[in-house]
A and B are shown apart, each in its own frame.
Chain A
């Protein structure tokens, strides 16, 4: 089992999939920050004065983590960032479901509205597993330089 999960070609597929997904998700939000800020506000989880701060920085963290994953720079670290985000998303969606809010999840900005629900949590858990795989095994094949930072 471990052999399959740590297969370097599977790791590349995971890396690119997660990378492109987060680049897409980041760009969609950056294009329409106003909508994304409204989406965050609808979750009613954050105090008003922090909403736009997170709306401004979150898409860029998604974008950079995604890009770095695609190029294979600091794969484990970026997978960890993405997993952290996913955990936050899962909690946010879960809490909203418990409170019975039927809101658009804001997951990919304005592209294809999806409501908060079990499906969303399921998808995020799946992505979380892919992220965990990358945290454990990294992915150095076809990467720009796996020791880009640690050598210096």
Chain B
């Protein structure tokens, strides 16, 4: 097992320089300092900005209002997580299987408002899924940023292992 460490350093340095150069001259390259992607916040639900080029973000009270209006919620997590617990009436379209699962969207019109969510504000699956939906023609896509965590701690209607908890008293 004779390894030449100088070669390792050489390969790493050369490919790093190549990467930096290519990125520098590539018009589509990224900036040297990472800028966090900030979703626009939907100010008022009535005024969802339809010309927005990006999915918009909503908070817990807004999500709650939309839930009461029977807007479709989409859980972007894996099936296992969904089965362990999800927002009542939410459908599950795991981001990782979007292409095979998107038939579950077939009875939702592209004009409808849909809300995506995942584990909490620390996850990105809801945003990634929203991007895919956007690209697929759904233009009223909202991301519920607080996700499952916020909904759970707020004691709103949930389904855990197929059983409904905190059911709405109409």
Whether, in the assembled complex, B41 has its beta carbon less than 8 Å from a beta carbon of chain A, the answer is no
B81 touches A52 (CB 8 A): no
Q: Which of A34, A49, A68 contacts B33 (CB 8 A)?
A: A49
Min CB–CB distance A88 → chain B (angstroms)? 13
Which of B43-51, B57-65, B123-131, B162-170 contacts the other chain?
Answer: B123-131
Q: How many residues of B are in contact with the other chain, CB < 8 A?
A: 38
A77–B37 touching, CB < 8 Å: no
CB pair B1–A101 under 8 Å, yes or no, is no
- Asked if residues B95 and A113 are in contact (CB atoms below 8 Å), the reply is yes
CB distance from B82 to the nearest CB of A (A): 11
The interface residues of chain B lying within 8 Å CB-to-CB of A99 are 122
Residues of A contacting B12 in the complex (Cβ-Cβ under 8 angstroms): 61, 81
B residues 72-130 near A (Cβ < 8 Å) are: 77-78, 81, 95-96, 98, 118-119, 122-125, 128
Chain A residue nearest to B32 in the complex (CB): A52
B52 close to chain A: CB less than 8 A: no
Tell me the dominant secondary structure on chain A's binding face.
helix
Chain B residues within 8 Å of A34, by CB: 30
On whether A65 and B11 interact (CB within 8 A), knowing A33-B23, A150-B4, the answer reads: yes
Q: Which residues of A contact B1 (CB under 8 A)?
A: 76, 135-136
Could you say which residues of chain B place their CB within 8 Å of the CB of A41? 34, 36
How many A-B contacts if CB must be within 8 Å?
Answer: 120
Indicate if A92 sits at the interface (CB-CB under 8 A): no
Given contacts A38-B37, A38-B124, A61-B16, contact A113 B119 (CB under 8 A): no
Q: Is the CB of A51 within 8 A of B34?
A: yes
A to B CB contacts below 8 Å, 10 in the list: A37-B30, A55-B30, A58-B19, A59-B19, A61-B12, A101-B123, A113-B128, A114-B96, A115-B78, A117-B78
Q: Which 5 A-B pairs have the closest CB atoms?
A: A60-B19, A51-B34, A57-B16, A64-B15, A60-B15
Q: Give me the interface of B with A, judged by CB distance under 8 Å.
A: 1-4, 7-8, 11-12, 14-16, 18-20, 22-23, 28-34, 36-37, 77-78, 81, 95-96, 98, 118-119, 122-125, 128
16 additional A-B pairs beyond A65-B11, A76-B3, A101-B123, beta carbons within 8 Å, are A37-B34, A48-B33, A56-B19, A56-B29, A59-B19, A60-B18, A60-B19, A61-B16, A77-B3, A102-B81, A113-B96, A113-B128, A135-B3, A149-B4, A149-B7, A150-B4
